[in-house]
Structures are given as C-alpha cells and as structure tokens.
Amino acid sequence: MKRSTRSTPGMTPGMTLSMTLGTFVLFGCGGGESDQPAPAPAPAPAPAPATEAAAAASGPMAVDWISVDDGARTVTIDLVAGSTDANNRWNFNGYANGEATVVVPAGYTVTVNFENRDPVNYHSVGVLERAASYPAIFDDATPVFDGAITSNATSMTEATAPGGGTESISFTASTAGEYALVCPVPAHAVTGMWIGFDVSESGESGLRS
C-alpha cells in the first residue's frame, strides 16, 4: 500500500520539501530568540584631557621674565630683543607678530629692563596703540603712557645698541586696555617685531600666548 503525500493546492512536492527544510534550518540554527545574555554595553570613553587652548583660556601664565609685586603694586619685565633666531632675531623674548601678550594690572608701576642681544641691528621698545599692522616708518611713536618708550626709538643708529645694549624705562599703566610692545625702528614693526601688552582691570598678570 502506497503512503500518500499531502500537498497544498498549487504547490509542487519540491516546493513543499523546500519549505520543510527551510523551517528546519530556521529553528535548528537559532532563528528564534537566543538564550545567550545580551552583550554588556561598551564603557563610556574617558574624558579628554584639557587642551592647551583651554588652559590658556583660564588666564595668563607665570613666566620668569615678568615679576609682579602686588603689595608694592609694581611689575618688572625683563624684555630681550633678539633673544632667539625667530623672525630674523626681530623678536621680544622669542615672540613676534603679536603671538604673545604681556598682561599687567591696571594702576601698577611697570619697569621694563630692555636688552638688545641682536648682534647686528639696533632695536627699541615702546607701548603703543594696538594695530592690525604697523608702518615701515613711524611719523609719530608717542607712547600710550608717559615714559613708556626707550630713547631714540625710531633711529636705526641711535636706539638701543646691538650686542648687549641695555636701557630701563618706568611708567604707570594707568588705563586698562589692549596695547602693544612695539619696536619703532624703521622696518622692524612692519615685519613683525611687536607683541601684545594688555592692562587688566581685573588685576590679571603674566603672559598670554
């Protein structure tokens, strides 16, 4: 006696066999819900360390060439022209093109001990208005504060002498604002020999770079 095979109307025996095998594979290979526990979530990444920019935003940093005496309300700045080869030695303490800013508290007496280590060129320094650019030749190099400029500041042959010449100036940083330490010797400021000089109403001091 033959055993009959029941099939759905419209389906061939081959299709029935394929569906049966497919069902077997689906359940036999874990097509349903797994009994294995779900993987643990990945740990959250550790916070990124503070960047130098964020640290700089917290305020000016202390440097050994800027000394502040809050009791006496004085600031002493040991400013060196040509201290490194940066900008063809036309720099202040290695900085040029406004890439650093000296910050002093408003109302303090500031003394700048200026030294020119450039072996060839005369240099000078004055506290002038901050500008996007400076002229090759200054018609007027009047400082922002009385006394805030070295002697013969616009002369190529009578400013502070190369090879270790020195000069000191003192003035009161009486008005808060954004200014600049500039070398007014012809062609020096226009090629980047200047850095910022901020007078802080909040009492901040140091170097911002």
CATH of the domain at 153: 2.60.40.420
Domain limits for position 165: 62-208
- With respect to residue 115, please indicate whether it lies within any of the assigned structural domains: yes
Tokens of residue 93, six digits: 């303490």
107, part of any domain: yes
| pLDDT number for residue 39 | 58
> What is the structure's pLDDT at 14?
47
The CA distance from 57 to 209, in Å, is 10
> What confidence score (pLDDT) does residue 142 get?
96
- Length of the chain in residues, anyone? 209
Helices (H) and strands (E) in the chain, counts: 2, 9
32 in a structural domain:
no
* Rounded Cα–Cα distance for residues 159 and 90 (Å): 14
Say if 45 falls within a structural domain.
no
Is there a domain that residue 4 lies in? no
Residue 46 forms part of a structural domain: no
Tell me the two tokens of residue 153.
């500041």
pLDDT of residue 100: 98
Q: Which of 198, 193, 194, 162 is nearest to 179 (CA)?
A: 198
Into how many domains does the chain fold? 1
CB-facing half-sphere around the CA of 39: CA atoms within 13 A? 3
Interacting residues of 93 by C-beta distance below 8 A, sequence separation 6+: 65, 79, 80, 83, 100
Regions in the chain scoring below 70 on pLDDT = 1-57
pTM: 0.74
DSSP designation for 191:
G
What pLDDT is attached to residue 20? 42
Whether 50 is covered by a domain: the verdict is no
Q: How far apart (Å, rounded) are the C-alpha atoms in residues 82 and 94?
A: 7
Q: Tell me if 123 is assigned to some domain.
A: yes
pLDDT value for 17: 40
